[in-house]
Structure 1
Amino acid sequence: MSVTFKQLEAFYSCVTHASFSSAATKLHATQSAMSKRVGELEAILGVQLVHRTPKGLVPTHAGSRLLTLAEDAMRLRERINAEVGQVDKLTGTYRIGVTELIALTWLTKLLKELKNRHPDLQLEPVVDAGMNLFEGLEANKIDLAILPGTFWGEAYKTVEVGRVEDLWMASPNLALPDRPLRPEEFARYPVLEQSIGSAKNTFYGAWRREHGFRFKKVFATNSLTVLRALTIEGLGISQLALDYFATDIERGLLRVVKSDPMPPPLVYSAVYRDDAFSAALDVIAEVGRLVCDFSRGPHDLAVTR
């Protein structure tokens, strides 16, 4: 009996995730199937490849040697598919995590474009706060996440898909000076923010600390639509995506609050494991870059108030 790609893939995934169950989730298979493939591989090679410990699966000495070869085999398979196989044909099921802003703006465009290009590709979108999405990525519950940030660790590919001006905004009825606010002045006014799980807070955290921004928070929510409503009602200052809220500014519901300095653009990236060995994830990231558009769509409920 010969070694197969499926057996090597199962072994590699089980060892790198230290778990049959996590590997099964990653490969959209069952835990018993993962255990069976690794067992078959051990029988073919005549050596034990993994130790089962309380902390998870650990490669044996032979397993450690095979791990490098298995990784080479996975990369070779992708190269064969890319250079010899049907380049335009992508299959499989992938769970794509996005933030609420993306779900409200260009998620539908992404799904439609990918469906048009690759009809056999099955996508399962997950909408959540950015940090929750990354936790799902780490736990192999999500294959790719699109969220704010430019670097998520050496183990992940991070592909920029777009940027949006994320500016301070408030109701015209909120009494504010008609000039740029200094960082320390923000402590005088109520500030509305997205909850702790927001990756945007992580993205801007260092910049805010560097420039001395201090906030008198009165409310935090994980809902962008709630944040919009509270800001329009004059309950505080929020940092919001200009492209999405431009309509509210045009209608006089919101106004940009200038600061000195102004916030840098918010960078959105597609993030996925560097060892995923999947051309589909590269394609999803690239299509995301092409369709990324944070302006409000015609079917958005926020168009009318």
Structure 2
Amino acid sequence: MNLRAVESFYWVVMLRSVTRAAEKLHLTQSAMSSRVAMLEQELGMLLLDRRDKQFRITPAGQRFFVHAERLLALQHEILAEMGTVASQPVLLKVGAFESASHSWLMDWVRSVHKVQPMLALELTVETSPVLVDLLSRGALDIAIAALPAAGAGVRSMALPSMAMRFVGHVDHHTRRSWTPADLAALELITFQRGSQPHVALLDLFHRAEVEPKRVHTVSSISAMTQLVEDGLGVATLPEAVLQRLRRRMPLKALNCRTRLPPLPTHLSWRVEPTSTVQSLVDSLLTHLGVDPDHQKTR
């Protein structure tokens, strides 16, 4: 039995799409369909119902999917036992929102590279909704976002949330203490419209019954901090990001009487029978001080 055909069928079922499975395995859609057809011919039964455009797996396909998982897991186990897996490059497709990529993510990547020098990282920095969609489509192995991902073969858990601060210029924002009214008089910079930081900022002023002068929404932390450095406003940023950037930029946290709510952070990943993603997830959790043996997954 051709294990490449088995792998192709596995991903068609997991992603519920021939097109997405083809993208995942870097194949053309016709090549993916041919592999599944070859497997069906060998088994002598239909695994997928192709009578219309809606995805359907046949009862025979559902039964074979269980065996497909076992076959691929056994293949990975054999290669690991023979030492073949360890000697091959490991491509890890990670997606992260800006707050993680500007704080602890690169430290974890460096620590992984020390023990797995064959690791090749494919990093995508995007907004949380985009990351969740990419993971669901099989384009990412791991997603770190403000939202959890869901779906077949996907696990997710909440990571420690990130404390948020109002960040200003060390020379331009010298007031000892700031009220919501004080902040409302400034040019304010936060993340993209509709994001948790943006909504939280507007809610803070709504509860304080003050109207902010102007709120700018920017998806790039680099652009946000450049605006603050140029004296063009005050930004809302994770404290962990500020701690890293203040070493080389004239930034400081403003002492505010009203606190911003923390930024939720979620780790989502794909569970695959032929992947080392789970061990990398465990190392990430250890790096963050989260016990991998007490994961709350869904």
Instruction: Assess same fold via TM > 0.5.
Output: yes
Q: Deviations over 1:154-182 (max 9, x none)?
A: 54222556654322223463587825x46
- Distance in 2 separating the partners of 1:68 and 1:97: 29
CA contact (8 A) 2:187 2:233 kept: yes
Q: Which shows bigger deviation, 27-36 or 218-227?
A: 27-36
2:135–2:143 CA contact under 8 A, matched in 1: yes
Q: Which aligned pairs between 1:51-200 and structure 2 lie closer than 5 A?
A: 51-52=49-50, 55-75=53-73, 77=75, 84=81, 86=83, 89=86, 91-149=89-147, 151-153=148-150, 155=152, 156-159=154-157, 164-171=162-169, 173-174=172-173, 178=177, 181=179, 189-196=186-193
Are the equivalent residues in 2 in contact too, given 1:10–1:38 (CA < 8 A)? Answer: yes
Residue type at the aligned position of 1:178: S
Identity of aligned residues (%): 23
CA positional deviation for 1:135: 2.2
Cα distance, 1:55–1:259 mapped onto 2, change above 3 Å: farther
2:228 aligned with 1:224, yes or no?
no
What SS is found at the alignment partner of 1:55? coil
Corresponding letter in the other structure for 2:8: A
**Per-residue deviation, 1:222:** 1.5
Go from structure 1 to structure 2 and tell me whether the alpha carbon gap of 1:209 and 1:78 turns closer, same or farther (over 3 Å shift). farther
Provide the residue aligned with 2:292 in structure 1: none
Could you tell which deviates more after superposition, 86-95 or 220-229? 86-95
Cα distance in structure 1, aligned partners of 2:124 and 2:97: 8
1:225–1:252 CA distance, 2 compared to 1 (3 A): closer
Aligned partners of 1:195 and 1:207: how far apart in 2? Answer: 12
Please say if residues 26 and 143 of structure 1, whose CA atoms lie closer than 8 Å, have aligned partners that are also in contact.
no
Unaligned stretches of 5+ in structure 1? 294-305
Q: Equivalents in 1 of 2:250, 2:91: separation in Å? A: 44
- Separation in 1, partners of 2:84, 2:264: 30
Counterpart residue number, 1:21: 19
Q: CA deviation at 1:80?
A: 5.9
Equivalent-residue separation in structure 2 for 1:6 and 1:47 (angstroms): 18
CA RMSD of the aligned region, Å?
Answer: 3.9
Q: What amino acid does structure 1 have at the position aligned with 2:49?
A: H
1:260 partnered with 2:254: no
- 2:280 matched to 1:281? no
Q: State yes or no: 1:241 paired with 2:235.
A: no
SS at match of 1:254: strand
Unaligned runs of 5+ in 2: 290-298
Distance 1:107 1:204 in 2: 23
TM-score normalised by L of structure 1: 0.72
- Normalised to the residue count of structure 2, the TM-score between the two structures is 0.73
Query: How has the CA–CA distance of structure 1 residues 229 and 9 changed in structure 2, closer, same or farther, with 3 Å as cutoff?
Result: same
Q: Deviations over 1:116-175 (max 9, x none)?
A: 3233333222222333222222232222222334x3335422255665432222346358
Aligned residues of 1:99 and 1:147 also touching (Cα < 8 A): yes
1:208 deviation in Å?
7.5
Aligned residue-pair number: 282
Q: Is the 2:168–2:252 Cα contact (8 Å) retained in structure 1?
A: yes
